[in-house]
Homo-oligomer: A and B are copies of this chain.
Amino acid sequence: MENAKSVGEKLVALCREGQNLRAIETLYSDDICSVEAMSGEGFPREMQGKQAALGKGKWWSENHEVHRSTVKGPYPHGDDRFAVIFDYDVTSKPMGNQRIQMEEVAIYTVSNGKIIREEFFFKGG
């Protein structure tokens, strides 16, 4: 069974190629639980299931024009968790086409070789 480091390396490689949705399809459990940093607009803070995660990913990619992205990691913690640092320079449609720099930390939990939980840590305004 793949451990956190191995799954993390695949996730980082796919995200570096902009294949974030493919990462969800191939590396996430059907029961993925996705937890945002804060309650926001439009999405509940916590969402369950691969279809919900894919929906959120599609919404994000349709609403943000990515000028530059940096993906650093994976940073493992034991065999079942790893961190990834995302750094985006984007134009955000929901923010009135403002160009913004977003940096966030994501913590992933792996069980039976699949990602079962993702938690985002975000430095808001």
Contacts and interface: CB of A to CB of B under 8 A. Distances in A.
Contact of A77 (B73, B74, B121): B121
A82 interface: yes
A53 to B, nearest CB: 17
A77 B35 contact: yes
Residues of A in contact with B, size category: 20 to 34
A124 B78 CA distance: 12
A107 B82 contact: no
Nearest to A119: B77
Query: Which 9 A-B residue pairs are closest in the complex by CB-CB distance?
Result: A75-B121, A83-B121, A83-B105, A77-B121, A75-B123, A37-B77, A75-B105, A75-B122, A105-B105
